[in-house]
Structure 1
Amino acid sequence: MSTYDYDVIVVGTGPGGEGAAMKACKEGKKVAIIEKYKEVGGGCTHWGTIPSKALRQAVQRVIQFNRNRWFKEACGGRLHLTFPQLLSSATDVIKKQVDMRDGFYERNNLDLLYGTASFVDENTMQVKPNAGGKVKKITAKVFVLAPGSHPYRPDDVDFNHHNVFDSDTILDLDFTPRSITIYGAGVIGSEYASIFQGLGVKVNLINTHSTLLAFLDEEIVHALSHDMRNQGVVIRSSEEYDSIIPDDKSVVTQLVSGKKIKTDIFLWANGRTGNFDDLALDKVGITPNSRGQINVNENYQVEGKEHIYAVGDFIGYPSLASAAYDQGRFAATHIVDGFCDATLVKDIPTGIYTNPEISSVGYTEKELTEQKVPYETGYSRFDSLARAQISGETQGLLKIIFHSETLQILGVHCFGDQAAEIIHIGQAIMSQKGEANTLLYFTNTTFNYPTMAEAYRVAALNGLNRLDNH
């Protein structure tokens, strides 16, 4: 009989923790999962992926309505919604996600404990209840740490001020500002720039790098930058703040370059750090790096601590909800079987929910040029597709990068409506072996018409024409 209370204790109910707990439980392990917040789901559900994407979807619907003159005439003019009104749509989705996940834990007989988890020793954790009360100590043979991350907060920015926000607290905004400065033009900053611009807010996007989203294909980035500027977003690149000074009615952002930007509110969207503060990692000899993350091996075991696993944002790249869930399942498989042959797919798709959205999988032109790989490109512009013309979402393009000799698909990049959905067709073909992964799949396949998926056939034919013209 086991000398431990549990076979596995999981910390965090976000995608990584959920994946690990469910897999271990279904394989017959006795599992406890600890959640610090009052509801399950983690940062993904409550402050990150779900609310920001729900907000963006609501804004997109308003834009689509106002773009359609028939709708406007029928309803007597443009549709205007406030930021709090849009947040209500996110609240509905969050509740549905929480209820669904509560059901997972209930049906699978996991012990779900609410409170702050911290190590006592190598095999013991204590759980301090959120509402006070008695601290509970529990033991386990194995631990999976999936505490997630939170926005990095520099000490010289007053986040207690009512006009200064980060990507978590922006969801508490109870009015629609006239103007906003967003500091950080990564994925989060770019998405919120699109959301606020869609509400008619004047947006200043401060980019600490020379280009937006440098990990993306340059042509796609240029399309996004051009579209954002056309919609009124002011992008200021290669800038850093010197000071951020709020008062009762506004916030002044002083840049190192000498510029001063005064807006109603300020949103910090520059970096995240792991949630390690409460875990008492020193009790088990673990030291996070400067970004609050810890190093793991290929089985997600913490270096030097084989009975402690870590997944999700807590270990860094790729810091995606989808990848975290897989990492949790892989870690649990290793716990149960002693090995795990499954790994994250080589080509992990990126989805960025700007307006229009961006999605990408595989290599960029720059990467292939540096590797001296001979390639060619094929394009399909959305304004030529019947489905895009019907929906009115004609802004965008699909770009296929392929080997100019073997025709193997090397990368797919999409900018436009439903890009994050469209990309998975390319991902599926890229994962095939041999001749199944070539441009000819798209030229020889009959697509539904009219669809956005038809863009693959158009882009493939365009690419073959480029080869013929050499």
Structure 2
Amino acid sequence: MPESFDAIIIGTGQAAPALAGRLTASGMTVALIERGLVGGTCVNAGCTPTKAMVASAKAANTIARAADYGITLSGGVMRVDMAAVSDRVNAIVQASRSGLERWLTGMERCTLIRGHAVFEGARLVRVGDRQLTAGRIFLNVGARPLVPDIPGLAAVPFLTSSTTLRLREVPRHLVIIGGSYIGLEFAQIFRRFGAEVTVIEKGERLIAREDEDVSEAIRAFLEEEGIAVRSNATCIGVAADGDGVAVRVDRDSPMVTGSHLLVAVGRRPNTDDLGLEKAGVVTDRGGYITVDDGLRSNVEGIWALGDCNGRGAFTHTAYDDFQIVARNLLDGAARSVAHRIPAYALYTDPPLGRVGMTLAQARAAGRKIRVGMRPMTRVARAVEKGETHGLMRVIVDAETDAILGGAVLGPGGDEAVHEILAAMAAGTPATQFAATMAIHPTVAELLPTIAGELSDLRS
């Protein structure tokens, strides 16, 4: 006979532990299934380790720039101990994962089961020799690095965003295929650790989903640090080159040779080996589970949260998925993904914080807009910190005075952008936002200022 629970949660990414906590607190019994490491991508191979590594790279860069701040270093050259960097990262990850495991294993009415879950029916899941059944099943299985069909790739060693975290030595020359968020963060990290770095991007520019001036500003400061960027890579191919790799960019250019290759072209959902067809759960062409705005699948009683549902690709969207499901299921609310304001960050240095619409998106939507913008060279706090790359922008609907979006590319941009996000969430009109008294000297203080200096956008 199958073991019966009130709910089954498959995967322990960002949404799952909090959901287990709400369900068990309401009196339900929960089976929480994990085939890998507790905590999912964020804790083990995403936010936690990469941002710890970003911090080490920031420290290295600060030391390298000491003379810019009037500080003289004597007695040798800075050396990056990659093994020590890795040990620090691993210690932070282990502490986070261990704390999460203690919480889950000590949670009343929650049973943590290790193993690979496979559907045998819409209400029946097998994990090894155990059969489990529940009236509610929540999928939080996450995603993994996408390995594209690049000619020659299968014949050479290569890194992904996960395996790059295991490096114990700084690569001599790291070649990165993919000029988007993950690739650019690793590019700057390893350049600051002393590696030669080349980024190869198939598109015309880096991070194409951002506005062109933001993309150009990011490329400029990365190239200033010595990172080579090869865009318009129309014919990418890979071959072995001694102990390293050679990457073809196009038919008419010489090969880019390096010691290590990182493939960072996206991620794919972990849905292909769950037996979803036996449950009748529908996925799209990319393997993402099709859900409605309440995150319900096409099968009654089955929800999908986090990266596997294609409705967001971040830890914070996964956590918001939990809030939507829990509030609707347990509190009688009517939360919806459709009400969510898009928000995310790129953790280069300086970081980019983004909320709402870009200029391109506002134009495509046919909006009549007004825009406030200021370069970081005109932000006192950025000048004082000696970090003047970037810009900030607020986008406003000219007819309704509603704030449509904004971007902060500059020191603390990932934090400062929350001022725009909070105003949008509260429905604060731009004129009222512009009247806000902000703290000086900060980067965020200029956001109300530029909201009061709006100009009509001309194509």
Once the two structures are overlaid, the 10-residue window that deviates more, 53-62 or 288-297, is 288-297
CA contact (8 A) 2:200 2:249 kept: no
Pick the aligned partner of 2:404 from 387, 404, 410. 410
Pick the aligned partner of 1:275 from 241, 264, 270. 270
Percent identity, aligned pairs only, is 26
TM-score w.r.t. length of structure 2:
0.90
Q: Distance in 2 between matches of 1:356 and 1:77?
A: 28
Once the two structures are overlaid, the 10-residue window that deviates more, 115-124 or 453-462, is 453-462
Once the two structures are overlaid, the 10-residue window that deviates more, 293-302 or 252-261, is 252-261
CA contact (8 A) 1:245 1:253 kept: yes
Matched ranges for 1:64-463 at <5 A: 64-69=62-67, 73-74=72-73, 76-109=75-108, 110-128=110-128, 135-154=129-148, 158=153, 163-259=157-253, 260-303=255-298, 305-336=299-330, 340-344=333-337, 345-404=339-398, 406-433=400-427, 436-442=428-434, 444-463=435-454
CA contact (8 A) 2:10 2:117 kept: yes
The CA deviation string for residues 131-164 of structure 1, in whole angstroms up to 9 with x for no partner, is xxxx222221111011111112246555685x41
Q: Partner letter of residue 93 of structure 1?
A: I
How far is 1:349 from its partner?
0.9
Once the two structures are overlaid, the 10-residue window that deviates more, 119-128 or 78-87, is 78-87
Q: Distance in 2 between matches of 1:438 and 1:103?
A: 46
Taking a change above 3 Å as real, the CA distance of residues 375 and 333 of structure 1, as seen in their structure-2 partners, is closer
Once the two structures are overlaid, the 10-residue window that deviates more, 87-96 or 263-272, is 87-96
Taking a change above 3 Å as real, the CA distance of residues 222 and 247 of structure 1, as seen in their structure-2 partners, is closer
| Aligned residue number for residue 29 of structure 2 | 30
The residue matched to 2:209 in structure 1 has which SS? coil
**How many aligned residue pairs are there?**
451
Q: Partner letter of residue 357 of structure 2?
A: Y
Taking a change above 3 Å as real, the CA distance of residues 76 and 374 of structure 1, as seen in their structure-2 partners, is farther
Q: Distance in 2 between matches of 1:366 and 1:240?
A: 24
How far is 1:256 from its partner?
4.2
Is 2:57 aligned against 1:59? yes
The CA deviation string for residues 232-273 of structure 1, in whole angstroms up to 9 with x for no partner, is 222222224543123552101123434311111101111211
Taking a change above 3 Å as real, the CA distance of residues 306 and 395 of structure 1, as seen in their structure-2 partners, is same
Name stretches of at least 5 consecutive residues in structure 2 with no aligned partner.
none
Taking a change above 3 Å as real, the CA distance of residues 240 and 56 of structure 1, as seen in their structure-2 partners, is farther
Q: Distance in 1 between matches of 2:119 and 2:70?
A: 58
| Aligned residue number for residue 132 of structure 1 | none
| Aligned residue number for residue 46 of structure 2 | 48
CA contact (8 A) 2:155 2:239 kept: no
Taking a change above 3 Å as real, the CA distance of residues 454 and 143 of structure 1, as seen in their structure-2 partners, is same
Taking a change above 3 Å as real, the CA distance of residues 205 and 309 of structure 1, as seen in their structure-2 partners, is same
Q: Distance in 2 between matches of 1:40 and 1:322?
A: 17
Q: Partner letter of residue 36 of structure 1?
A: R
CA contact (8 A) 1:66 1:72 kept: no
CA contact (8 A) 1:382 1:455 kept: no
Taking a change above 3 Å as real, the CA distance of residues 288 and 101 of structure 1, as seen in their structure-2 partners, is same
Give the CA RMSD over aligned residues.
2.5
How far is 1:60 from its partner?
1.1
CA contact (8 A) 1:18 1:328 kept: no
Taking a change above 3 Å as real, the CA distance of residues 72 and 87 of structure 1, as seen in their structure-2 partners, is farther
Taking a change above 3 Å as real, the CA distance of residues 178 and 4 of structure 1, as seen in their structure-2 partners, is closer
CA contact (8 A) 1:59 1:198 kept: yes
TM-score w.r.t. length of structure 1:
0.88
CA contact (8 A) 1:24 1:333 kept: no
Q: Partner letter of residue 197 of structure 1?
A: R
CA contact (8 A) 2:172 2:196 kept: yes
Q: Distance in 1 between matches of 2:323 and 2:399?
A: 39
